């Protein structure tokens, strides 16, 4: 089983992705986290995605993804793609790659939340300067305003309201054409992402079990 999970910033797709991959024994590819790790070692990638705030070319992203994922897949029952693909072109490359292995994308799930909900969730996010633990002032507030390790917390610049609006605009611009393709292929399921985590996960499990 190979799954794509989509959703705007603050939709909770990372949380659902971890739950899904554990439940169905899938290799979890968090593309954002993976590329940030690459950027720490590769000055060119760092310059493009961090200094310029732009997306990497489709071919480069595909090469990095396939090289990283290929040796890890045999030990799992499939792959959960979080943050990849982000465009129809990337999706076509992914489909070709899977087809060469006799596989396909079985399901795409998108968690939908309003812009207001996304801004509210992300603007409340805080990160520990020492250990990197992430808190949310609404859903997971720190005790006494500090991390459990004793470190102080900070807010990322891209979690400020105006920056979030710009990120959401970029997300819609790149992702909406992809969702149209996925819907046309009849593998896209849309879910309300503003509900409790357990409720959303229960719906996803039902959907994926029906695909097996």
Looking only at the bridges linking them, the beta strands covering 27-30 and 79-82 are parallel
- Find the catalytic residue in 107, 121, 125, 126: 125
Residue from 116, 126, 29, 122 nearest 81 by CA:
29
Extended strands (E) in the chain: 2-6, 27-30, 79-82, 107-112, 125-128, 134-136, 153-154, 188-192
Query: Which is catalytic among the residues 23, 148, 156, 173?
Result: 156
11: which DSSP letter? S
Run of H or E residues at 187: none
Has 52 been annotated as catalytic?
A: no
Is 104 annotated as catalytic?
A: no
C-alpha distances (whole Å) from 202 to each of 1, 7, 17, 199 are: 18, 17, 13, 5
Residue that is written with structure tokens 């071919």 in the block: 59
Query: Is 156 labeled as catalytic in the residue annotation?
Result: yes
36 part of the active site: no
State the catalytic residue, choosing from 86, 107, 121, 126.
Answer: 86
* DSSP symbol at 51: I
Query: Per the residue annotation, which of 107, 121, 126, 167 is the catalytic one?
Result: 167
- Cβ distance 78 to 24 under 8 Å? yes
Is residue 55 within 8 Å of residue 86, measured between CB atoms?
Answer: yes
Q: Please list the active-site residues.
A: 13, 86, 125, 156, 167
């Amino acid at each position: 089983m190979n799954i794509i999970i989509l959703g705007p910033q603050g939709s909770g797709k990372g949380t659902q992705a971890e739950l899904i991959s554990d439940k169905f024994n899938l290799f979890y590819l968090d593309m954002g986290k993976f590329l940030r790790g690459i950027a720490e070692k590769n000055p060119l990638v760092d310059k493009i995605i961090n200094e310029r705030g732009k997306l990497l070319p489709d071919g480069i992203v595909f090469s990095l993804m396939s090289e990283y994922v290929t040796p890890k897949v045999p030990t799992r029952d499939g792959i959960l793609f979080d943050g990849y693909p982000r465009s129809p072109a990337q999706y076509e490359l992914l489909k070709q790659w899977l087809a060469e292995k006799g596989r396909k994308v079985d399901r795409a799930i998108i968690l939908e939340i309003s812009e207001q909900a996304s801004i509210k969730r992300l603007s409340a996010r805080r990160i520990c300067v020492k250990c990197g633990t992430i808190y949310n002032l609404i859903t997971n507030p720190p005790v006494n305003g500090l991390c459990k390790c004793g470190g102080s917390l900070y807010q990322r610049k891209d979690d400020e309201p105006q920056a979030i609006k710009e990120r959401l605009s970029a997300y819609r611009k790149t992702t909406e054409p992809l969702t149209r393709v996925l819907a046309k292929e009849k593998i896209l399921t849309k879910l309300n992402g503003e509900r409790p985590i357990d409720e959303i996960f229960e719906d996803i499990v039902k959907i994926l079990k029906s695909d097996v």
